[in-house]
Copies of this chain bind each other. A is one copy, B any other.
Amino acid sequence: MYKIDEVAQKTKLTKRALRYYEELGLVSPSGRTEGGYRMYTDADVEQILHIIDMRDLLGASLAEIKEMVELGRLYEEQREFYNKHYKNRDLDGPELLERIEMLQKLEDTLTPQRDFLQTKIARMQELLADFDNKLERIVSKRTELTEEFKGVNNC
């Protein structure tokens, strides 16, 4: 269990940002000390790092991230409930249907995100190619001029 400053160092966020994310409902520390100090687990840190990824890689706003996080929680919750009941007896129709609809909803939410990510990657690869072309031209020009410079100065 880590307290806030350690987590701030691990995640490269500020303590303020951590409290802010908690205020928005993105991540809460798994515990508190008697005196009220936030205590984070490794899993908490993992989730924070995941949030940072979504922010930096998907370019999602904190509000959008919150939606995703909440959907994930809803899913986990339902799955726990499902697993608990599935062990002992068969589900009846309505319960099965509810679970199927949940999975469908998750799928419908994740698929466009996946596609968005994919096209973004493709465009970034194009941009990378542009960078590489430009850099290649610059480097070859620079070596060319360096040679010329040596010629002028009789090296």
How far does the Cβ of A75 sit from chain B's closest Cβ, in whole Å?
9
Q: Kindly supply a per-residue 1/0 record for chain A positions 112-148, scoring 1 wherever the CB is within 8 Å of any chain B CB and 0 otherwise.
A: 0110011011011101100110110011011001101
Chain B neighbourhood of A123, CB < 8 A: 53, 57
Q: What is the interface size of chain A, counting residues whose CB is below 8 A from a CB of the partner?
A: 44
Copies in the complex: 2
Task: Evaluate whether A124 and B127 lie within 8 angstroms (CB atoms) in the complex, with A93-B149, A96-B148 already known.
Answer: no
From B114, B135, B149, give the contact of A135 (CB < 8 A).
B114
Contact across chains for B135 and A107 when beta carbons are under 8 A apart? yes
From B56, B58, B93, B135, give the contact of A110 (CB < 8 A).
B135
Q: Kindly supply a per-residue 1/0 record for chain A positions 19-39, scoring 1 wherever the CB is within 8 Å of any chain B CB and 0 otherwise.
A: 000000000000000000000
In the complex, which residue of chain B has the Cβ closest to the Cβ of A55?
B59
Q: Kindly supply a per-residue 1/0 record for chain A positions 47-75, scoring 1 wherever the CB is within 8 Å of any chain B CB and 0 otherwise.
A: 00000010011110000000000000000
